[in-house]
């Protein structure tokens, strides 16, 4: 029996097994190389991801530069010591060589309106934007106050002062409290010398409400309630104007503001006694009328000389050489007319007299107060070469010496807080907003200088000065003024 079939069959089986083993080894080597390549790629990519990135954080007026491997912006801010509050905005920007994270703080504003107080965090830049955001409408003579000072609706929220030194970040613990109050206008009635006027106001006091309505409180006038009383809805304000009476005395003259009915009652109330042997023109029983003059004539019982005092006047004259706020006074004096009589008496009573001569010693000379001419009293911008530092929107009212409430005999009558005399070009301001001495141009009024203050002049309110005896043509209103160098 042949022996070859067995070995031959065994050889055929062993050749396929060797080839398969080689293929398996090759596959394993390829698999190991693929895994190794993947590991290398992942390592390289991971190393790139773990590389620190440069981040610039802009917040609260500072710039903080960080190098971090964190991909979370919140974690980056935490690392910079920056906390985000409700309403704050976080914006990511491309800064070229670094990522930029900008934090815009929301202002915290307390809004008081219609008896309710709201706390808001807002990015509104102006008052009207804030009110629109809060769904609050302003109408009629409603007023808006910022931290107690009157402002216009388009004023910036928390505006810098005119000469501020530095700003405080809105989110700082030292940031000033921002309070916005909407004061609604209320109806009220003015009874002026018996005539009723219906109007509205949001001004806080009786005096300010009357001024807004164009009513002037003059010397001796009576106001009820008191001028400084708080204005209330539907209040009736009784305004009675005193009558001015000029009394010429032998050596002086003065003005009485009176509600009395006759000359005698007015003189008695004013503390003016009639000397023995003297008389008045007109007589003591004459009814009082506004603007009347009363002369007290003193005669010597044994004299044949009649002396008539001629009252001098005070006149206002414009002087183009005077600058804004300047005045020049040329004092006059009363005159005396002397008449010499040949007097005859019968039973102690005068029977007749004959005029011998008549002289003026001295002649009366009027007192002249020179005031500056209103220059540029138009809506045009200043054209005299002055540099405009900035413009400012203010609420402009007016006043004169008589509206101060002082008696004309008061030594301080007509004098401002800086000692100047109230006239054209003198403006009362709040020194925290416009420092005293600041020069300005006011459309419709002219050049002026801040030289006075006032209890009602707070925030963005100014009071334009006028001399006594001049027709005032200014209406209280908001106006854009120029602050000059």
CATH number at residue 435: 2.40.40.10
Q: Which residues contact 371 (CB under 8 A, 6 or more apart)?
A: 316, 317, 318, 319, 322, 327, 423, 424, 467, 470
Higher pLDDT, 102 or 314: 102
Shared domain for 75 and 172, answered yes or no, is no
Describe the chain by its helix, strand, coil percentages, rounded to 5: 15, 40, 45
Shared domain for 135 and 87, answered yes or no, is no
pLDDT of residue 433: 95
3-state secondary structure of 403: helix
pLDDT of residue 62: 86
Percent of the chain with pLDDT over 90: 25
Shared domain for 177 and 196, answered yes or no, is no
DSSP, res 421: B
pLDDT of residue 373: 63
Sign, CA dihedral 410-411-412-413, equals positive
Shared domain for 409 and 475, answered yes or no, is yes
Structure tokens at 272: 């003016």
Decide if 396 is inside a domain: yes
Q: What is the mean pLDDT of residues 312-330?
A: 71
Structure tokens at 303: 């004299």
Shared domain for 440 and 474, answered yes or no, is yes
User: Lowest-pLDDT range, 85-89, 172-176, 216-220, 452-456?
Assistant: 172-176
pLDDT of residue 321: 79
Structure tokens at 31: 């698999």
Structure tokens at 459: 């925030």
Residues listed for the chain: 485
- What domain range includes position 421? 374-484
Q: Could you tell me the CATH number of the domain that includes residue 218?
A: 3.10.20
Decide if 268 is inside a domain: no
Higher pLDDT, 324 or 185: 185
Residue 53 CB burial class (10 angstroms; 0-12, 13-18, ≥19): middle
Strand order in the sheet with 195-201: 195-201, 186-192, 236-240, 222-224
Alpha-carbon torsion angle 11, 16, 18, 22, nearest 10: 170
> Cβ distance 90 to 102 under 8 Å?
yes
How far, in Å, CA of 82 to CA of 55, rounded? 14
Residue 141 CB burial class (10 angstroms; 0-12, 13-18, ≥19): middle
Q: 243-275, pLDDT tens digit by residue? A: 999 998 877 888 999 999 999 999 999 888 887
Decide if 442 is inside a domain: yes
Decide if 224 is inside a domain: yes
> Cβ distance 427 to 452 under 8 Å?
yes
- Report the domain count for the chain: 5
> How sure is the predictor about 237, in pLDDT bands with cuts at 50, 70 and 90?
very high
pLDDT of residue 306: 78
Decide if 217 is inside a domain: yes
Distance of CA 294 to CAs 244, 249, 262, Å?
11, 9, 11
For the chain, give the mean pLDDT. 80
Domain finish residue from 342, 373, 404: 373
Give the number of other CB atoms < 10 A from CB of residue 286: 15
Shared domain for 69 and 82, answered yes or no, is yes
Decide if 272 is inside a domain: no
Shared domain for 95 and 115, answered yes or no, is no
Q: Identify any residues that bridge with 360 across adjacent strands, giving them in sequence order.
A: 337
How far, in Å, CA of 18 to CA of 276, rounded? 159
The answer, yes or no, to whether residue 463 has pLDDT greater than 90, is yes
Decide if 305 is inside a domain: yes
Shared domain for 137 and 154, answered yes or no, is yes
Shared domain for 412 and 479, answered yes or no, is yes
Q: 383-411, pLDDT tens digit by residue? A: 455 688 999 999 999 999 888 778 777 88
Give the number of other CB atoms < 10 A from CB of residue 391: 12
The answer, yes or no, to whether residue 92 has pLDDT greater than 70, is yes
Higher pLDDT, 373 or 305: 305
Shared domain for 358 and 437, answered yes or no, is no
| Radius of gyration of the CA atoms of the chain, in A | 44
Shared domain for 410 and 316, answered yes or no, is no
Higher pLDDT, 318 or 481: 481
Shared domain for 386 and 442, answered yes or no, is yes
3-state secondary structure of 114: coil
Distance of CA 40 to CAs 25, 30, 44, 248, Å?
22, 15, 6, 115
> How sure is the predictor about 187, in pLDDT bands with cuts at 50, 70 and 90?
very high
Domain finish residue from 353, 373, 393: 373
Q: 1-16, pLDDT tens digit by residue? A: 333 344 444 434 444 5
Structure tokens at 270: 């004013």
How far, in Å, CA of 21 to CA of 206, rounded? 112
Domain finish residue from 74, 104, 134: 104
Q: What is the mean pLDDT of residues 329-345?
A: 77
Decide if 265 is inside a domain: no
Q: Could you tell me the CATH number of the domain that includes residue 156?
A: 3.10.20.30
Q: 41-74, pLDDT tens digit by residue? A: 655 455 445 568 888 888 878 888 888 888 788 8
């Amino acid at each position: 029996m042949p022996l070859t079939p067995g070995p031959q069959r065994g050889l055929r089986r062993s050749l396929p097994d060797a080839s398969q083993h080689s293929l398996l080894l090759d596959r394993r080597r390829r698999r190991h190389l693929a895994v190794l390549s993947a590991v290398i790629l992942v390592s390289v990519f991971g190393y790139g991801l773990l590389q620190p990135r440069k981040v610039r954080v802009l917040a609260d007026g500072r710039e903080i530069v960080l190098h971090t491997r964190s991909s979370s912006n919140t974690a980056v801010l935490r690392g910079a010591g920056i906390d985000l509050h409700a309403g704050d905005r976080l914006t990511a920007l491309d800064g070229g060589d670094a990522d930029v994270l900008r934090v815009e703080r929301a202002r915290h504003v307390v809004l008081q309106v219609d008896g309710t107080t709201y706390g808001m965090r807002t990015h509104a830049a102006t008052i009207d934007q804030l009110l629109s955001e809060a769904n609050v409408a302003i109408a009629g003579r409603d007023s808006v106050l910022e931290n107690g000072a009157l402002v216009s609706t388009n004023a910036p929220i928390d505006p810098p002062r005119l000469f501020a030194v530095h700003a405080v970040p809105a989110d700082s613990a030292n940031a000033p409290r921002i309070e916005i109050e909407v004061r609604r206008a209320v109806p009220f009635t003015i009874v002026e010398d018996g005539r009723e006027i219906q109007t509205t106001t949001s001004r806080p006091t009786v005096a300010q409400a009357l001024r807004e309505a164009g009513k002037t409180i003059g010397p001796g006038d009576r106001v009820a309630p008191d001028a400084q009383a708080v204005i209330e809805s539907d209040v009736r304000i009784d305004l009675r104007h005193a009558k001015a009476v000029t009394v010429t005395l032998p050596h002086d003259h003065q003005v009485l503001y009176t509600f009395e009915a006759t000359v005698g009652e007015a003189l008695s109330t004013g503390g003016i006694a009639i000397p023995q042997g003297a008389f008045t023109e007109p007589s003591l029983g004459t009814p009082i009328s506004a603007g009347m003059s009363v002369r007290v004539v003193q005669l010597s019982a044994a004299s044949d000389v009649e002396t008539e005092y001629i009252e001098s006047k005070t006149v206002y004259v414009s002087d183009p050489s005077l600058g804004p706020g300047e005045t020049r006074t040329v004092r006059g004096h009363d005159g005396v007319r002397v008449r010499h009589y040949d007097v005859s008496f019968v039973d102690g009573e005068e029977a007749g007299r004959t005029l011998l001569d008549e002289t003026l010693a001295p002649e009366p000379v009027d007192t002249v107060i020179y005031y500056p001419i209103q220059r540029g009293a138009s809506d045009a911008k200043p054209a005299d070469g002055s540099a405009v530092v900035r413009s400012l929107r203010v609420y402009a009212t007016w006043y004169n010496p008589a509206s101060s409430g002082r008696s004309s005999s008061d030594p301080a009558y007509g004098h401002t807080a800086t000692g100047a005399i109230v006239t054209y070009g003198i403006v009362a301001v709040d020194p925290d907003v416009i420092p005293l001495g600041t020069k300005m141009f006011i459309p419709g009024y002219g050049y002026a200088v801040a030289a006075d203050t006032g209890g009602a002049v707070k925030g963005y309110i100014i009071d334009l000065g006028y001399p006594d005896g001049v027709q005032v043509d200014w209406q209280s209103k908001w106006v854009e003024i120029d602050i000059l160098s």
